[in-house]
Amino acid sequence: MVDVQGTSLTDHERDFLRAPSIGAVILFSRNFESKTQVKNLILEIKSLRSPSLLVAVDQEGGRVQRFRDGFFPLPPVQKFGIRYDVSPEEALSLAKSAGRIMASELADVGIDFSFAPVLDQANDDSAVIGDRSFHYSATVVTELANAFIDGMNSTGMSATGKHFPGHGGVTGDSHLMKPIDNRTIEELQNSDLIPYQALASKLGGVMTAHVLFPQINDSIPTFSPYWIKQILRQRIGFDGLIFSDDLSMKGAHDAGTPLQRTGLALEAGCDMALICNDPINAESVAKALSHISTKPARLEAMRLKPNLLANEDEIGQMQDRLMSIS
């Protein structure tokens, strides 16, 4: 998975995106000016290949919402957790509505999936997660994420849980460093892993974390067959698409060059490696790995399958309810 630089494709990017080892494109705020513009950009990306490249975005809500003008300002999901402590039933309904609104609006412009929901537990000391988490309790995270996923699925959009096995025990930001979590596997099984164990059959994708758990394994999960094959695939039983987190992040840097990082992620069991905001290296890696392609069935499972999208009246009613907690 790679990114592009602007609001339309250059001739060079059109050629680059035809590389057989590229399976998807992720869009960022810099790629968005308006609904019409981004819809045309997505159509252009999808016209390059058959079957077409998948197109994704981070549209969690709160501070992580790449498309804004013309899109509903989704609340940070922590708001649902706060409401859950007062009224669980209302919070679950609101979370489902948020998932449905988000997916309906993205489907309308041609996005296949959003990297959501965040399954990490809340941690007051974590600047990178913060209000992106539903709750401090892994059980409540599971319930609210389940409702959010139901909202996404109702439009035909697959959900991607992140960041496996959990970012809830560290304060550092893996964009800037490699955080270290000294908990044991038993501690994680009773906390951060609970949402993955409960929701494995409902998730289309899972994204790995660039967090080191030295009491458990000597590699970050992104590069670890133990975490990906033994824990996520075998013990938890997840059979969907496994994404690496962005290999350009500092948390992955000590594993070598971008090509070496990509190779390690794929060998560990990731189906798709992300290289973002580094076009020169993304191109060289794509060229070097031109003989590699992801599992077609897993990739196709992430493609948008539009079901009954929310109409304007339904969206308006859900937005009014969500505004009460924004």
Q: 251-292 pLDDT, tens per residue?
A: 787 878 999 999 999 999 999 999 999 999 999 999 999 877
6-38 per-position pLDDT tens digit: 999 999 999 999 999 999 999 999 999 999 999
DSSP-derived 3-state class of residue 37: helix
Question: Looking at residue 100, what is its pLDDT?
Answer: 95
pLDDT at 127 > cutoff 80: no
Q: Which of 112, 245, 246, 271 is catalytic?
A: 245
Question: Looking at residue 253, what is its pLDDT?
Answer: 74
pLDDT at 90 > cutoff 90: yes
Contacts of 179 (CB under 8 A, 6+ apart): 167, 170, 171, 172, 173, 210, 211, 212, 251
Question: Looking at residue 176, what is its pLDDT?
Answer: 54
Residue 295's pLDDT band (cuts 50, 70, 90): low
Residue 172's pLDDT band (cuts 50, 70, 90): low
Residue 190's pLDDT band (cuts 50, 70, 90): very high
Contacts of 89 (CB under 8 A, 6+ apart): none
Average pLDDT over the chain, rounded to an integer: 92
Whether 210 sits among the annotated catalytic residues: the reply is no
226-257 per-position pLDDT tens digit: 999 999 999 999 999 999 999 988 778 787 89
Question: Looking at residue 270, what is its pLDDT?
Answer: 95
Q: Which of 12, 125, 175, 218 is catalytic?
A: 175
Query: Look-up: residue for tokens 């929901």?
Result: 117
Question: Looking at residue 128, what is its pLDDT?
Answer: 75
User: What value does the mean pLDDT take over residues 57-70?
Assistant: 95
Residue 177's pLDDT band (cuts 50, 70, 90): low
Whether 163 sits among the annotated catalytic residues: the reply is no
Parallel, antiparallel, or unpaired: how do β-strands 54-57 and 24-27 relate?
parallel
Residue 196's pLDDT band (cuts 50, 70, 90): very high
Residue 175's pLDDT band (cuts 50, 70, 90): low
Q: By mean pLDDT, which of 99-103, 138-142, 168-172, 315-319 is the weakest? A: 168-172
Parallel, antiparallel, or unpaired: how do β-strands 59-61 and 64-65 relate?
antiparallel
Question: Looking at residue 312, what is its pLDDT?
Answer: 80
Question: Looking at residue 200, what is its pLDDT?
Answer: 98
CA 284 to chain CA centroid, nearest Å:
24
